[in-house]
Chain A
Amino acid sequence: MSEPVPTVLPLEVIDKAIGTEVHVLLTNDKEFKGKLIGFDDFVNIVLEDVTEYDNDTANDGKIKKMLLNGGQISMIVPSV
């Protein structure tokens, strides 16, 4: 009752990052960097102009637009 209620929900943080560059870290040592277009309640996310990283090395060739399965995502980092 007297405990302060959190004012920023996790999904709001992702929502604020829409339209900006984000890093997405997966559970399997993969990483994606791209512009966040959208997401849903499962945190499946749509990215644009994406670079895919495997163990910190970038795969050649950008992906124009992609839907990334939320089940593999461990962390989303809005770029600083």
Chain B
Amino acid sequence: MSEDKVKTGPSVFLSEILGQQVKVKLNNGVTYLGNLNSIDGYMNIVMDSTSEHVNGEDFVKTYGDVFIRGNNVLYISQV
């Protein structure tokens, strides 16, 4: 049972979404959409082809590579 829990936990989800398009929402409400390059146990995140959105939808800026420090991350999701 605990084995099943490990298999469905956060680490498995993270390996599933590596290389995919993801949405990262920060505690301050800003959202980043991009291609997930890397993530670690602190939820530090590296993305490329990133777009920055404020107030949910409004398009603001595009970036190449982006590093997000994990303490700011509210969630990371598939898009």
Question: Footprint of B on A, CB under 8 Å?
Answer: 15, 18, 26, 28, 30, 37-40, 44-46, 50, 59, 63-69, 71-72
Contacts and interface: CB of A to CB of B under 8 A. Distances in A.
B19 interface: no
Nearest to A65: B78
Closest 4 CB pairs of A and B: A66-B77, A38-B8, A38-B9, A63-B77
Given A15-B5, A50-B77, A67 B56 contact: no
23 contacts: A18-B8, A30-B74, A37-B8, A37-B13, A38-B13, A40-B10, A40-B11, A44-B10, A46-B13, A50-B77, A59-B56, A63-B23, A63-B77, A63-B78, A65-B77, A65-B78, A66-B75, A66-B76, A66-B78, A67-B10, A67-B77, A68-B74, A69-B75
Contacts of B77: 50, 63-67
A40 B75 contact: no
Contacts of A72: 27, 74
Majority secondary structure of chain B interface residues (helix, strand, loop or mixed): mixed
The size class of the interface chain B forms with chain A is: 20 to 34
A4 to B, nearest CB: 25
Nearest to B43: A69
A67 B16 CA distance: 11
Given A67-B75, A69-B43, A46 B5 contact: no
